[in-house]
Every structure is written in structure tokens, then in C-alpha cells.
Amino acid sequence: MFGTRWKRLLLFYFVLEALSRVATGAIHVSVRVQIGAPAVLLVWGPSRTPGILAQVEQSLAGELRKQFRHWEFQPGGETRQVELCFRLLEKQPETLAVVLEHQEAADLVQQVAEEIWLAPGELAIRGGYPVASEAASSLSHAFLTFIMGRHKSRIEEILRQRVPVATEGQWDDQNRVVLPLAWENFKELRNSLFELACKSSSNEKLRLISHGQEQNGVFKPPPPNPSYSALALMPRKEVLPNGERDLTSDDFSRLRGQFIHLLAFLKEVRPPDNWDIFSPGGAP
């Protein structure tokens, strides 16, 4: 158990170091599509393939936003902070597989899922590979059905572990961390569990288990941008290699003064305690 915690801690700090170099704001997950099936590319042709891939990336990014609305997704994109790469591969003659990979850096690639999409018998029934005119819809359907449909929980696990919902925060006078997440859009997370990855100016790192708060905070962006109501978190425990430690009042003085860089990871979505069950003016 001790060894497993150490491995997770080291990996987490590697991710923190890589992501802490990006500009403040939300981390956008790039959604890319790649084709590793030469026979398919011959059918589509070099002039049509880029447009097909762009359509599929748009479709997948839109569906990811619907299913995982607490994270930001963009099709393609020049920045490669975090990437979900959907790949079509020819595993063997006339057998196509759909694959999902998660990538944070050129040397940090993890396969998330792989499924056979079309086997030789199915290709014969279809009359061959999808033609260019129906390629975008066919490929989008394949990724949505075989990858996102069957491996949704695994994708969400990757997002929670590796993709922060916010890359900055501000301490308020109640020892809470106010995230730049507008209360109107994120108040449903006010009872949820977060993990803050913090770093000091001297490069000291730590992780804090934090809870969403029922009362919103006020986030103050640089002028001339106005302040706004935002989601606030209360740090409760520090994560150690061999367990957890409750925070004390002395800890908050040190945290507020030294740890100025942070990333906020959504670990568990918990329903708010005060759901509006009855509509105003409704029956008692």
C-alpha cells in the first residue's frame, strides 16, 4: 500500500509540474482524431480526409462537453496541454479497431480503451470501408458507441485524476480557496470533493483534500475585469505518502502566505445538501 501511494504521489507531482506552466484559467482538453489504416485513407483520398477528421473532432468534442460538463474540450487545437486522441487502426487485414489514448506530453501517453469496430465479415456485409461521403458520421458513431458508450467511467476517471477544473484560486478571509468558477454555472458542485495541488514560490508541493462550500465566495480577477460570485472550497486534510493529516489553524497561516499556485481537481461529485425539491408556491 505504501509503495502504491508513493507511485501515485510521484505521478501527481509530475502532472502538477507540467500543468503549472500553463496560463491561468481552464485547461482545455484537445480532442484529436488520427487514422492508422492506410486502406481507409485510400478510399477517402488525401483531399477529403482532413475535412472528415475535422468533422469527427467537432462531433466528439461536442459530445464530451455534454457528458463531462465540468471540463472544457476543444476539437484539434494547437495547444497540447492535455489530449484525448481517438484513433482508427487496421489491426489486421480488413479489421478496424477504434482506440482512445490520453496524452499529456510527448513521452506520457496512456491507452484508455480499444475495441474492434469492423471485422472482415462485417466489412463484407457493409460492402467495404465507409465511403468518404458517409465517413464522418460512421466514424463518429463508432467512437461514440464503442469508446464513449462502453468506457465512459474510465474516461471520467482519467479526467478527475489528471485534468484540473481550475488552474488558479484565491484565499479569502475564511481560509477558503475561491476558484474562478462562476457560481451560477458551478454551484451544483458546492458539496463535492476536490483535491488541490499546491506549489510555493520555493517549489514546495503539497496536496489538500478540500470540500465545496454551500456559501459562494468572490473571485477577483485582475483589473479592469469585475469581481464575481464563484465556487469556494474549504481545505480539510493534507495528503501524505502514507496517509492523510487534518489541517490545523497554524497550517492555514503557512498555506495562505506561501502556497500561491494551485490546480483544482474534481475528485467526487456529491449532490448539494439542500436540493430545491419544492417549487416556490407549490404544494406543501
Tell me the pLDDT tens digit for each residue of 237-257.
999 988 999 999 889 988 888
Distances (CA, A) of 248 to 78, 93, 175, 237: 43, 63, 11, 9
* Whether residue 245 is found in the same domain as residue 273: yes
Please tell me the distance from the alpha carbon of residue 204 to that of residue 266, in angstroms, as a whole number. Answer: 22
Please tell me the distance from the alpha carbon of residue 213 to that of residue 158, in angstroms, as a whole number. Answer: 25
* Whether residue 129 is found in the same domain as residue 202: no
- The arithmetic mean of pLDDT across residues 108-128, rounded, is 89
* Whether residue 133 is found in the same domain as residue 191: no
* Whether residue 18 is found in the same domain as residue 114: no
Residue 208 has pLDDT above 80, yes or no: yes
- The arithmetic mean of pLDDT across residues 192-215, rounded, is 92
Q: Which residue has the higher pLDDT, 78 or 114?
A: 114
| pLDDT (0 to 100) of residue 93 | 84
Instruction: Report residue 273 as a C-alpha cell.
Output: 445538501
* Whether residue 270 is found in the same domain as residue 168: yes
Residue 25 has pLDDT above 80, yes or no: no
End-to-end CA distance of the chain: 51
Q: Do you know the residue count of the chain?
A: 284
Q: Tell me the residue range of the domain where 138 lies.
A: 28-160
Q: Please, which pLDDT band fits residue 107 given cuts at 50, 70 and 90? A: low
Of 138, 160, 182, which residue constitutes the final position of a domain?
Answer: 160
Say how far residue 12 (Cα) sits from the centre of its chain.
14
Which pairs with CB-CB distance under 8 Å and at least 24 residues apart come from 91-95?
Answer: 91/116, 93/120, 94/39, 94/118, 94/119, 94/120, 94/123, 95/119, 95/120
For the chain, the average pLDDT equals 85
Is residue 190 within 8 A of residue 231, CB to CB? The reply is yes
Q: What's at 100, amino acid-wise? A: L
Least reliable range by pLDDT among 19-23, 100-104, 205-209: 19-23
Half-sphere exposure of 258 (CA within 13 A, CB side): 14
For 122-168, the pLDDT digits (tens) are: 888 888 888 999 999 999 999 999 999 999 999 999 999 889 999 99
Of 113, 132, 160, which residue constitutes the final position of a domain?
Answer: 160
- The arithmetic mean of pLDDT across residues 30-47, rounded, is 94
For strands 28-36 and 82-92, give the pairing: parallel
Please tell me the distance from the alpha carbon of residue 210 to that of residue 266, in angstroms, as a whole number. Answer: 10
| pLDDT (0 to 100) of residue 284 | 37
Write phi, then psi, for 250 (nearest 5 degrees): -65, -35
* Whether residue 181 is found in the same domain as residue 156: no
265, β-bridge pairs? 195
* Whether residue 14 is found in the same domain as residue 102: no
| pLDDT (0 to 100) of residue 12 | 46
pTM of the full predicted structure?
Answer: 0.80
- The arithmetic mean of pLDDT across residues 30-44, rounded, is 94
* Whether residue 182 is found in the same domain as residue 203: yes
| pLDDT (0 to 100) of residue 115 | 97
* Greatest mean pLDDT among 22-36, 103-117, 229-243: 229-243
Query: Angle 9-12-16 (CA atoms, 0-180°, nearest 5)?
Result: 135
User: In total, how many domains does the chain have?
Assistant: 2
Of 103, 134, 160, which residue constitutes the final position of a domain?
Answer: 160
- The arithmetic mean of pLDDT across residues 174-194, rounded, is 95
Nearest partner of 83 among 112, 98, 105, judged by Cα: 105
